[in-house]
Structure 1
Amino acid sequence: MALHPDFPGSPHAILDPAIRWFPADEALRETSMDKLMPPLVSQLRRKVRVFRESGYVGTTRTSQSLLRWWFQEPHLQPQVEGTPVEFQYFFAQREALETIIYLYDVVGVKDKFDLMRFDSSGSVSASLFDESWRRFVVKMATGSGKTKVMSLALAWSFFRKLYEADSALARNFLVIAPNIIVLDRIYKDFQGLRIFFDDPVIPDNGFDGQNWRDDFQLTLHLQDEVRVTHRSGNIFLTNIHRVYAGEDIPPSPDDGNTMDYFLGKRPTGATTDSKVDLGMIVRDIDELMILNDEAHHIHDARLAWFQSIQDIHHRLLQKGGSLSLQLDVTATPKHNNGAIFVQTVADYPLVEAIWQNVVKHPVLPDAASRAKLCERQSSKYTEKYADYIDLGVIEWRKAYDEHQKLGKKAILFVMTDDTKNCDDVAAYLEGRYPELKGAVLVIHTKNNGEISEAATGKAKEELERLRKQANEIDTLASPYKVIVSVLMLKEGWDVRNVTTIVGLRAYSAKSNILPEQTLGRGLRKMYPGGVEEYVSVIGTDAFMEFVESIQAEGVVLERKAMGAGTQPKTPLVIEIDYANKQKNIDTLDIEIPVLSPRIYREYKHLSDLDIRTMTFQPVVYQQFSEEEQREIVFKDITTGEITHTTILDSAGMADYRSVIGYFTQAVMKELRLISGYDALYGKIKAFVREALFAQMVDLESPNTLRNLSELAATKTVIEVFKKAINALTVQTKGDAEIRDTIKLRQTRPFIVKDQGYLMPKKSVFNRVIGDSHFELEFASFLESCNDVVSFAKNYLAVHFKLDYVNVGGDIAHYYPDFLVKLSDSRIVVVETKGQEDLDVPLKMRRLRQWCEDINTIQADINYDFVYVDEVGFKQYAPKTFGDLFAGFREYK
């Protein structure tokens, strides 16, 4: 059940349905794959792939604009330090939205009968669907971004309803959380509509001719503060336990047959706060979409939660409408018997998320380590399980020390079987380990793993305390390093910093808890990016057998030696090697001056652009048929992929403004221009009308619009204006000055992917890694050179970079590969290359200029450079750095 050999490691890579994971041997892929997956998923993946590759043909203009904005437009996010980084949604998030929109817009799914058309198993029947309304379930591994999917789906529904009169979607949203802790987490994302603007959910004003940001007007109502002030534009965020009305709420006079038809027999239960009467909500609104986080709760038609959603739908039907859509997102959409929800339309399994480093890798003790553990004959819980608890602390300590170097706190999670033993373990940890005194947080849960919202005032205060601690435990400000819990927290306590889980109970099928939910508490990652992270799992034989059952889901459980004297299972930490007493850090340190930039962009007004001076090859103006004119497809100028499709309306009226706007935004995005849209729009409009085709053209003509969708026209417009703007704004200063100094010993610790590395003697760093095998070979060469005092890989964390003008005429930054210290007065910057690209000569020219500048400004240290190509290095095999410098000094 391993992953397909071609399965990509990047979570952003578009996944071919033919290589997705399925629960069987690879030899059965052709014959059994469709029947062993969620019944609707296999066929939907193939349909959505065609939908994606067509440029989303068949969907509405609003949906198409949003899909293109989310998944095809480049998005830069500012950073506290350094240049902005590109934000990109995971493919799992993209596929979920594409599937939802495909089903709604293209297929026109209204109910279960429409969904059944996609069954690949041959065993789906109408009786397996309890609901009579439109319901989609998205299965995504814990930590892979379910909240982002909810935010995108919400925005899509809002704009689809706002901009398109015939839409049956909604601008009111009921967002349901499974418990109070998840509610707080969602509220943090949704408060002030933060997630919609921190992430690129809402397009920029002007994108495809709409003022998206100005039009996104929503009010967030939290829990018992739900008050309908507008008939549309509401987000109702509530705990799932409030999703029913109490009997003490009087019916409204306009409720026809309220007791028998709408309210029915209402469930009741004691909670710390009053209940929310959703009947009161839907009396005042005519449209509603429901989004459920961790929605495996809402699966049984006998439960009050399901019945309340059904009541809302019936109430809307009574008013001539319906529940527009119920979207459930969960990592485990499974019934108590293990059967998956048939409504599942998208699936990103845990095995794929682990492979793509979206979540942590579970690690178990190897056989030798497990053989050292035993349950002692004792009536005292902590004496009986002392081996397991102590091993957990040892593993946690090792992880804690490593992560502490990076300003992170590792968390130990211990699971027990009842509240008495929970307290016993907490007392044992605090009494036996001095560093855990006052650092153990005890959580008493119900038997189903949920924190109870009891009615007593004392319990209410306890709940509020737990809520606060849940939000803070990952921070260094929180005193807690260990969580001890009865059973485990099924969801909500999604601590990112859990590095070790200790299970001290016998799990059984009767508990209705899945191993994915158990591991889920430790799967969320601590660090951004694709660095491998790990969660060590230790426990009794019964617990380990339970955890190992997750292998049926394709998860490969790594095993390693644990205990005293073993290495921690953490990401590789690169740091200054103070622990190595054989190193003299002062001698090995290298100092690099930071010069003022030589190249800068002078933001002149774009109205200074003169289309008459632009040099380019005019594009041939073609004549297209009426049918060809109706479908207008724009393709990416580098990849040739479809980025923008316009279907002319029934009147055949072409709107050139959206096309000129598309060109304008593309130029501004690539050059990272933050203003000047209006001026640039006018210049591009004039260029297209008067110059692009070497003749004056009619912009209102559908034929002109069709010509503009041709790759030659798109590429010419964008490239000509990028070149002209760079020529206008990119300037070079005649000199430079020293602004600061980089000392390698001041580099803060950072993590890297688990990969090959060198343990150097001549570097301030504890490890040297390479971006290629050649870099490791070269580092080994430097280590062996008698004429090298010290060297260092120029990691991004060092922050030594040079600005230069790249082959496209834009300002870019270049990080040389190595810094080599030959003496206190001589330092050489080394660039290594396996295969040369077009930018290499430009980088070398800039490095040469940097050396000349710094040597002119100061004379204490001489800075030089050398370029080393892999072919020449292996061919001539220099023995010393002096030989290398003499043979590779000049860049050819």
Structure 2
Amino acid sequence: MGLHPDFPTLPHAILDPDVRWFPADETLRDITMDKLMPPLVAQLRRKVKEFRDGGYVGASDTSKSLLNWWFFEPHLLPGKDTIMGSFQYYFAQREAIETIIYLYDVAGAKDKYDLMRFDSSGLVSASMFDETWRRYVIKMATGSGKTKVMSLALAWSFYHKLYEPDSDLSRNFLVIAPNIIVLDRIYHDFQGLRIFFEDPVLPDNGYDGRNWRDDFQLTLHVQDEVSVTQNTGNIFLTNIHRVYSNDEVIPSPDDDNTMDYFLGKRPTGKTTDSKVDLGMIVRDINELMVLNDEAHHIHDAKLAWFKSIQDIHNRLLQKGSSLSLQVDVTATPKHNNGAIFVQTVSDYPLVEAIYQNVVKHPVLPDVPSRNKLSEKQSAKFTEKYADYLDLGVIEWRKAYGEHIKMGKKAILFVMTDDTRNCDEVAEYLENFYPELAGAVLTIHTKKNGDISEAASGKAKEELELLRKQSNEIDLAESPYKAIVSVLMLKEGWDVRNVTTIVGLRAYSAKSNILPEQTLGRGLRKMYPGNIEEYVSVIGTDAFMDFVESIQAEGIQLERREMGIGTKPKTPLIVEVDHENTDKDIHALDIEIPVLTPRAYREYKNLGNLDPSGFAFQAITYQQFSEEQQREIVFKDITTGEITHTTVLDTAGISDYRSVMSYFTQTIMKELRLVSGYDVLYGKVKVFVRDLLFGMSVELESPNTIRNLSELAATKTIIETFKKAINDLTVRDKGDAEIQSGIKLRQTRPFVVKDQGYMIPKKSVFNRLIGDSHFELEFASFLEKCVDVVSYAKNYLAVHFKLDYVNANGNISNYYPDFIVRLTNGYVVIVETKGQEDLGVPLKMKRLKQWCADVNKAQTKIVYDFAFVDNVGFEKYKPKSFANILSGFKEYKEI
């Protein structure tokens, strides 16, 4: 059951379905693979491969744009310990979201009957599916990035609903965590929508003609902090127990058994403490998608977890809607009998994750080492298992000594069988091992892995402190180096620094714990990159037998000798004012032609770059000390602020080639160059070596590398090349033609930050948001003009923009401020300005040109332009829009 010999070691490599792991000998691959895989996965992998290889044919335009952005665009990021870095999604993450999109866009899989078409086993029946809505289960090994898949699925659904006219997806999301620790972890990623902006989830504005980042308007609601003031654009992040109906148990920090609130439990009684009824929320919205983390809980239609989601779906059905999609992500989508969820559509098993170094490699003591361990004849728990504890500390101590060199703290994890023994082990570790004195954190759990009330009980404040301590144990500031627990936490406690696990009890099927879950808490990696990391697993014979049963999943366990040696502001909704019966939306509508771009790049000219002809100020070549040469200082090119300082030993000095590559890729990304890396790399190398410092320098010299980390050098390289490339490659086509049109009444609703606005009468929109007081003043003027039929603020959601060449010579986008339709049928594009900026002349020149191009391309409507400055408006006080056209026609230097 080993991996195929051609299985790649890099986690970003595209995996061919024919080399994926399956639970049988390699010789049986051709005849049994389809029968031994999760029933839907084998065929779906092939279909998704065809979908990918064919350029995503059949996907919507929105889906295609997102897939291309995520997986084909370069995403450069500042590295922590190197002078450059880049981001790339794992193939497992890519395949998961590709499968979801394929099923929705191409296969149109709406329910279990559609999914059953992909059954390769011939054994799947409709009775195996409990839900009646669209539900896809994603199986991904612990530590392989399930949260990132959730973020991609969420963004895809949002944009699909926003941009695709016939989409039945959602811009509201219920994100469910099984317990409070998982919720904390998700909240850390979703707070301030950080994962969407820190990862390349959101395309840049202008990519494929969309304003992705501006349009991504969402409000995060956590637990009871829910205030629905908009019917779209909500993320409801909650613990699974908050989804229960009112007649179910809802654990609360004020319950008698407060430990159940900490990590959750199965419903056993009644409480009415919950402050939020998600059923009430559903009554206020018409669309919803469920994202369910650690979703192996949702396996039984009889459980409250399943019934609560079913209730939400039924409530939406009553409103003529439905649950748009449920995406479950988990490492172990299995029933208590070990059978996998039939809804599983994508599978990245632990064996593949280990082989590709996505997670740590479990290492067990070899036979001679295990033979040295024995259970002593003693009634005292720590005496009975002293050998195991001692070996665990020895292995942890060795790991600690190595990792501390990298600034990382290794963590020891010990599992016991009950609360009393848990406390005894903690005391033993603190008393017998000086380095663990005051450094052991104790967490009591039930026999099934859920947190339980300790015999002595803990107050709410203590539990919140425990929650904080357990979440922060990886940090250098945390005093804790070891955790002792009753059994292993089943999920949620996903720290990265566990290097040693000691198990002092056995497991059984009755505990509903799988070996993957047992090891899962120690599998997350401490370091980025494709390097091997290990977690040592030590324990009693019964414990080790249980752990070794994971080999049935194809995992080859390595054996080695062991021993000595704020809440966001609620945004305003701007939408077409259909509910206002006093407005004739069709009469107020304005149509705007969309022209083909005039500015373009002539990439073939890149080879004509001549660095010797660049205009720039040479940088002084400084001499740094040996110590300074090891200190690489990263500074923000815009602000000049130090973002990170790294001290490297001699062997760690960055190779000059990676530095040249960093500058080359940064220039290409900022200019959106899609080709020419090989040409540009050579030009950058020549410029730095012979010209940047006013003399020739040795690129291999550590002193040169140190000079290149200085802001002046970085900025000169990047800005000089950008200007030269723009001068060489940016061209004007000389004409433009109409390729489509924009109708204001088709603008989708969007949310904006809380700011000044007015209620317009002559606009299709319900609000006129003013980015400045002058914009509101000008809008009020338009309302009074008898020669104005209708007008609108050119919101980003309207998607009316003009390409132009900015002051830096780069191709950029310009969004005029207002669109005005007059009684004579003219449509006037208006730029308003309070304070002058350098870009105004270039923008107005482009706007004038655009009007000329539109009027040349069609004669039905005359398009005109005006520039209205605040000073002139206040001075001349126009009474009609005709005064604007006569007095504010052209931009004038003020």
Q: TM-score range by the shorter chain?
A: 0.5 to 0.7
Alignment of 1:586-625 (within 5 A): none
Residues 246 and 275 of structure 1 are in contact (CA less than 8 Å); yes or no, is this contact kept in structure 2?
A: no
The amino acid of 1:554's aligned partner reads: G
1:50 partner letter: E
* Structure 2 letter corresponding to 1:801: Y
Residue in structure 2 matched with residue 274 of structure 1 by the alignment: 274
Partners of 2:394 and 2:444 in 1: CA distance:
25
Flag the 1:80–1:271 CA change in 2: closer, same or farther, 3 A: farther
Report if the CA contact (8 A) 1:805-1:812 is conserved: no
* Residue 150 in structure 1 maps to residue 175 in structure 2: no
| Aligned residue number for residue 210 of structure 2 | 210
Which residue number corresponds to residue 738 of structure 1?
622
Question: Partner letter of residue 42 of structure 1?
Answer: A
2:252 is aligned with 1:368: no
Which residue of structure 2 lines up, in the alignment, with residue 103 of structure 1?
Answer: 103
Q: In 2, distance between residues paired with 1:272 and 1:441?
A: 32
> Counterpart in 2 of 1:333?
333
Q: 1:798 aligns with which of 641, 645, 653?
A: 653
1:318-397 aligned at under 5 Å gives the runs 318-397=318-397
Offset at residue 738 of structure 1 (A): 2.0
Give the SS at the match of 1:101. helix
Offset at residue 733 of structure 1 (A): 7.1
1:306 has 2:161 as partner: no
Distance 1:731 1:519, change over 3 A: farther
Q: Aligned pair in 2 of structure 1 residues 274, 538: CA closer, same or farther (>3 Å)?
A: same
Partner of 1:169: 169
Contact 1:441-1:480 at 8 Å conserved across structures: yes
Distance in 2 of aligned mates of 1:473 and 1:804: 35
Aligned pair in 2 of structure 1 residues 110, 386: CA closer, same or farther (>3 Å)? same
Tell whether the 8 Å contact from 1:804 to 1:811 is kept in structure 2 after alignment. Answer: no
Question: Is residue 2:603 matched to residue 1:718?
Answer: yes
Change (3 A) 1:192 1:359: same
Residues 453 and 84 from structure 1, CA distance in 2 versus in 1: closer, same or farther, beyond 3 angstroms? farther
Structure 1 residue 92: Cα displacement = 0.4
SS in 1 for 2:148: helix
| Contact 1:414–1:504, Cα closer than 8 Å, also in 2 | yes
Closer, same or farther in 2 for the Cα pair 1:808/1:536, shift >3 Å? closer
Following the alignment from structure 1 to structure 2, what is the Cα–Cα distance between the partners of residues 729 and 89?
40
| Residue 518 (structure 1) aligns with | 518
Is contact 1:271–1:455 with CA below 8 Å preserved after alignment?
no
**Residue 198 of structure 2 aligns to which amino acid in structure 1?**
D
Q: Are 1:723 and 1:809, in contact at CA under 8 Å, matched by a contact in 2? A: no
Name the counterpart of 2:260. Answer: none
Equivalent pair of 2:444/2:454 in contact (CA under 8 Å): no
Match of 2:113 in 1: 113
Q: How far apart are residue 57 of structure 1 and its match?
A: 0.7
Aligned pair in 2 of structure 1 residues 434, 805: CA closer, same or farther (>3 Å)? closer
Q: Distance in 2 between matches of 1:214 and 1:808?
A: 28
- Residue identity in the other structure for 2:603: I
**Letter of the aligned partner of 2:96 in structure 1?**
A
SS of alignment partner, residue 226 of structure 1 = coil
Aligned residues of 1:223 and 1:276 also touching (Cα < 8 A):
yes
Give the structure 1 partner of residue 178 of structure 2. 178
Q: Distance in 1 between matches of 2:497 and 2:660?
A: 41
Q: Report the counterpart of residue 430 of structure 1 in structure 2.
A: 430
Q: Using a 3 Å threshold, how does the CA distance of structure 1 residues 812 and 196 change in structure 2: closer, same or farther?
A: closer
**TM-score, normalised via structure 2 length:** 0.66
- Report matched runs for 1:450-489 at 5 Å: 450-452=450-452, 458-489=458-489
Determine the C-alpha separation between the residues in 2 that align with 1:21 and 1:656.
51
TM-aligned CA deviation for residue 81 of structure 1: 6.5
Other-structure match for 2:400: 400
Residue pairs, 1:667-686, within 5 angstroms:
682-684=598-600
Task: Give the 3-state SS of the residue equivalent to 1:144 in structure 2.
Answer: coil
Query: Residues 9 and 355 of structure 2 are in contact (CA less than 8 Å); yes or no, is this contact kept in structure 1?
Result: yes
Equivalent residue, structure 1, for 2:5: 5
Give the deviation of 1:308 after TM superposition: 0.6
CA contact 2:611–2:683 (8 Å) conserved in 1:
no
For residue 31 of structure 1, give the secondary structure of its aligned residue in structure 2: helix
Query: What is aligned with 2:416?
Result: 416
Shift of 1:381: 0.6
Q: Distance in 1 between matches of 2:389 and 2:226?
A: 45
| CA gap 1:59/1:802 in 2 versus in 1, 3 angstroms | closer
Corresponding residue for 2:564? 564
Q: Which residue of 1 aligns with 2:61?
A: 61
Q: CA deviation at 1:386?
A: 0.4
Matches within 5 A, 1:63-82: 63-79=63-79
The AA in structure 2 aligned to 1:429 is L
Corresponding residue of 1:46:
46
Q: Distance in 2 between matches of 1:211 and 1:746?
A: 42
Farther-moved stretch of structure 1 (147-156 vs 505-514): 505-514
State the 1:273 CA deviation: 5.6
**Displacement of 1:811 after TM fit?**
9.2
Q: How far apart, in 1, do the equivalents of 2:489 and 2:658 lie? A: 50
The code of the aligned residue for 2:450 comes to E
1:735–1:853 contact (8 Å) kept in structure 2: no
Counterpart Cα distance in 2 of 1:63 and 1:323: 20
Query: Structure 2: any 5+ residue segments left out of the alignment?
Result: 250-265, 566-592, 633-647, 669-677, 704-894
- Partner-residue secondary structure (3-state), 1:442: strand
C-alpha contact 1:271 1:453 (8 A) present in aligned 2: no
> Are the aligned partners of 1:245 and 1:275 in contact in 2 as well (CA < 8 Å)?
no
Query: By how many angstroms is 1:302 displaced?
Result: 0.5
- 2:20 aligned partner: 20
Partners of 1:76 and 1:844 lie apart in 2 by 23
Q: Kindly tell me: are residues 543 and 725 of structure 1, through their superposed partners in 2, closer, same or farther at Cα, counting changes over 3 Å?
A: same
Which position in structure 2 is the counterpart of 1:293? 293
- Conservation of the 8 A alpha-carbon contact between 2:447 and 2:487: yes
Taking the aligned partners of 1:145 and 1:100, their CA distance within structure 2 comes to 16
Distance 1:741 1:222 in 2: 51
Partner Cα separation in structure 1 for residue 477 and residue 214 of structure 2:
38
Structure 1 gaps, min length 5? 250-265, 566-653, 661-681, 688-716, 749-791, 814-835, 862-892
| Shift, 1:232, TM fit | 0.8
State the distance in 1 between where 2:205 and 2:322 align: 32
| Shift in Å, 1:507 | 1.1
CA shift in 2, pair 1:365/1:464, >3 Å: same
User: Which whole-Å CA distance do the structure 2 matches of 1:176 and 1:94 have between them?
Assistant: 22
Map 1:194-209; keep pairs closer than 5 Å.
194-209=194-209
Tell me, in whole angstroms, the C-alpha distance in 1 between the residues paired with 2:521 and 2:460.
24
RMSD over aligned Cα atoms: 3.5
Distance change >3 Å, CA 343–CA 800, structure 1 → 2:
closer
Cα offset for 1:741?
Answer: 3.0
- Asked if the contact 2:291/2:326 (under 8 Å) is kept, the reply is yes
Q: CA deviation at 1:461?
A: 2.2
1:463 CA drift (Å)? 2.2
State the distance in 1 between where 2:48 and 2:560 align. Answer: 41
> Secondary structure at the residue paired with 2:625?
strand
Report how far residue 447 of structure 1 moved. Answer: 2.3
Alpha-carbon distance between aligned partners in 2 of 1:165 and 1:454, rounded to the nearest angstrom: 55
CA distance in 2, matches of 1:521, 1:807: 35
1:744 to 1:121, Cα distance in 2 relative to 1, 3 A: farther
2:455 and 2:304 mapped to 1: Cα distance? 19
Question: Helix, strand or coil: the match of 2:624?
Answer: strand
Distance 1:41 1:144 in 2: 18
Structure 1 counterpart of 2:23, one-letter code = P
What letter corresponds to residue 653 of structure 2 in structure 1?
V
In 2: Cα distance, 1:655 partner to 1:14 partner = 38
Match of 1:255 in 2: none
The answer on whether the counterparts of 1:441 and 1:483 sit within 8 Å (CA) in structure 2 is: yes
For 1:128, the equivalent position in structure 2 comes to 128
Aligned residue-pair number: 634
Aligned-partner SS, 2:392: helix
Report the Cα offset of residue 246 of structure 1. Answer: 2.2
The alignment partner of 1:378 has SS state of: coil
TM-score by length of 1: 0.66
Residue 348 and residue 726 in structure 1: after superposition, are their counterparts in 2 closer, same or farther (change >3 A)? farther
1:112 touches 1:129 (CA, 8 Å); kept in 2? yes
